[in-house]
Chains A and B, each alone.
Chain A
């Protein structure tokens, strides 16, 4: 199974994501440089975290205008699973592939800490191995991580089951404690916390199994037995 890891200038979690995909979950990971067309054989795409274009103007907004985003749009329409983590989530939101915006945290500071998520939608390609409301200990690391939508959109997200993860307490002031959402079709998921930092027990002081289910869900979706 081929998974693309999209790299923009300033991406900095690309190597971590690559390691997790290839060394922990034995997938064929491929770095995809933003200026080149997206390879055609990909079964899934991950947009990793970082500071694409140094977060200039607004996190993710410049990368959202990169040519590779058009390729991502095209394959997303085929239903291929796409995951955006942290800056990857910001890029998906800025490119209109996911609803909402990401604002500065209400602390106005960069925040790096471990949080707990609850799973709100277990039908996506990245959550199909979870029980509903299952908890995931996972770290966040962002300055612009406060997910915001207006009330009308929030209603819509709830109605269409597009809220994928919530924080189990108020972390950064996000609307309805939302930590991750998906598109209407459910194949594009964006989340602020970093699953690639939580799947190995050596660096996870809590429990690495729940985060691993995010990747195991993808394997399940693709019919890979790991």
Chain B
């Protein structure tokens, strides 16, 4: 427990007496950064959170979007970085479990997962490899067992995560609007704890997560049990159908302390509970341990005595425990007893609302010259560079990862992992497109533009499936916020995201802030991860196989923006240069143009240009279709640039569109109408990926060789020491 001395004084003055030991534990858990958002909350308000589709209810842990015809989508994102860095299997697995219960809390069935994973340099670092391998297995074992498909995500490696692990999990839920839990409580209602037994795992987890990772505190990592989680999901949904639930909250960070105080605070009630009533895994647990244990697979439910009988029957059917641990009062206090004696009695308002901080910020010194550009020696042949990039851990195919995740269960997955964004079919005939994106390399060089870039990239990805972005999830991951330079990068990213969200009218429907992501070597790079949800009213783009003679149009300008690119950092080991900047007006025009040409069914596929630039994006098309392509660099839209910049710059707002030649004229007319910058840059055919400059080949790589390298590289890195 780590209440700071001034916080202890504050607590004493608020309650007018010495706190009991249980109260201290409860407050320390709830006032931790992890539970209270005390450093960030003031600023998060700047994000637009309302929109025509957003449904708001009190006490929800997930965002809710109305997708029409009486149906809703729920979405949430969480991370489990600290636990995964210590125990990657359990940390990653319980990360999945936690976010799923947030979806369940709203009364919706979880239908999809996406995960963003980041580790140190797996090519050199055996520890990073171990973390990566076990985190993937942890996610697979948990999600697969639950029957919730893991449909997408991203994997990235960067030295800034050495000895650390970033495990972000986004979950999507779906349900009928009328089945949403309308959190409420009335006097005499009972408070029920349902699910797994409370044990000694995860004691103090939220405080652990609110500190730099210096010692490995394994007891703070929770133990996963996906089987119980699956039973809880089915039991809760059955109870929801029977309308047995007045209010519900998942037990996550801070355990019972947090769930009880936040439920009471959000419903404007009090809760009286007895720790002796909690079903525990061990018989000799101290009451303080019971209050702050973060054992997984538990839900807090408010119901009444009549409905309780039915709820108990459902629990019996699924053989899960449920204990009546207390009841609703109207004194707005969290009153905890043990054997009839009071051990904590404190206003929920005090517990649930830590004093918010307004931390100082200062532009980091390192940013002063970082965007100075550096020219790399120009080559006459980039084939070898290309092959190295395709084999590099950040660009290589992630099939080794998503092949271990059941991405088909639930039979909704229309567009499977490995494409720009994943698409799920919904029961009302519409489709949901989802993607998460992060880019710490660019965010390090320019926290504002980098964060906007992540947001735009996720939008591009869903746009490529034919979906209009309707909501955003933000996960803001930074180092120690008490360092003014780090806090400045947090604020810059947040401001950037806010500007983009407002301009594009994409509401932030949920998010999470994770601070103190530090190792003894220092802070991680700023790592905002942005999830975008898009809706398709009619049909998603049916990706068709590219054949010989098909053409390639590029939409969007390529600029002198090699900063934070894979080419710059992986090939030249250079951190710096001009960070790609999103031009809001071009971005919007390009998105609308792509959405319209998808509707016209004139194209075979749309693919965004991002990591590795144009060269990698074209190669991906060739490798997934097993066909060659010839691209002339002088046709690439944008200023006249050096060849390496055209090939590898990671400028935003760019799309590659493939189509049958006969549709060229119609496409050109449409694109002209949208006033976007575009040009036909290549034609498919043959067996090699070719780029020419002034009619001379500067890159020529066999598709077969490229594809084998790209597909197998990551697996080989993991399997062979």
Contact = CB atoms under 8 A, between A and B. Distances in A.
Mutual binders A and B = yes
Contacts of A16: 409-411
Given A16-B410, A205-B416, A51 B230 contact: yes
Interface in A76-101: none
Contacts of B406: 110, 112, 141
A144 to B, nearest CB: 12
A143 B403 CA distance: 11
B407 interface: yes
Given A50-B147, A51-B144, A110 B411 contact: no
Interface stretch (A155-163, A177-185, A195-203): A195-203
A111 B408 CA distance: 11
B140 A54 contact: no
A54 B227 contact: yes
Contact of B408 (A33, A55, A197, A202): A197
A196 B409 CA distance: 10
B227 A56 contact: yes
A221 interface: no
Contacts of A202: 414, 425
Nearest to A11: B147
Contacts, number: 81
A16 to B, nearest CB: 5
Contacts of B225: 54
Contacts of A21: none
Contacts of B231: 9-10
B412 interface: yes
A139 interface: yes
A194 B410 CA distance: 12
Given A51-B230, A143-B144, A202-B425, A9 B412 contact: no
Nearest to B400: A109
Given A12-B230, A143-B144, A113 B409 contact: no
Nearest to B431: A202
Nearest to B148: A12
A112 B145 contact: no
Contacts of B409: 12-13, 16, 49, 141, 197
Interface string B458-500: 0000000000000000000000000000000000000000000
Given A10-B145, A110-B144, A112-B403, A196 B230 contact: no
Contacts of B414: 202-203
A13 B641 CA distance: 53
A25 interface: no
A19 interface: yes
B413 interface: yes
B319 interface: yes
Interface in A32-52: 33, 35, 49-51
A42 to B, nearest CB: 21
Max chain B C-beta neighbours (<10 A), residue from A33, A50, A111: A50
Interface in B123-148: 137, 140-141, 144-147
Interface residues of B, number: 30
Interface in A144-201: 194, 196-197, 200
A112 B407 CA distance: 7
Nearest to A55: B145
A203 B425 contact: yes
A194 B408 contact: yes
B408 A141 contact: yes
Contacts of B144: 51, 110, 141, 143
Given A53-B227, A110-B140, A205-B416, A19 B411 contact: yes
Nearest to B145: A51
Contacts of B411: 16, 19-20, 196-197, 200, 203
Interface string B216-251: 000000000111001100000000000000000000
Nearest to B227: A54
Contacts of A51: 144-145, 147, 226-227, 230
Contacts of A203: 408, 411-414, 425
Contact of B318 (A9, A49, A50, A110): A9
B405 interface: yes
A16 B109 CA distance: 14
Contacts of B230: 9-10, 12, 51, 54
A199 B615 CA distance: 37
Interface in A93-140: 109-113, 139
B404 interface: yes
A30 to B, nearest CB: 17
B523 to A, nearest CB: 34
Given A10-B230, A54-B226, A203-B413, A113 B147 contact: no
Given A19-B411, A50-B147, A203-B408, 18 more contacts: A12-B145, A12-B230, A15-B410, A16-B410, A51-B144, A51-B230, A54-B145, A54-B225, A55-B145, A110-B144, A112-B403, A112-B406, A141-B144, A194-B408, A197-B409, A197-B411, A203-B413, A203-B414
Interface of B: 137, 140-141, 144-147, 225-227, 230-231, 317-319, 402-414, 416, 425
10 smallest beta-carbon distances between A and B, as pairs = A12-B147, A54-B227, A51-B145, A141-B406, A16-B411, A110-B404, A197-B408, A112-B406, A110-B140, A109-B404
Interface of A: 9-10, 12-13, 15-16, 19-20, 33, 35, 49-51, 53-56, 109-113, 139, 141, 143, 194, 196-197, 200, 202-203, 205
23 contacts: A9-B230, A10-B230, A12-B145, A12-B146, A13-B147, A19-B411, A35-B317, A49-B409, A51-B226, A51-B230, A53-B227, A54-B145, A55-B145, A56-B227, A109-B137, A110-B144, A110-B405, A111-B403, A112-B402, A112-B403, A197-B409, A203-B413, A203-B414
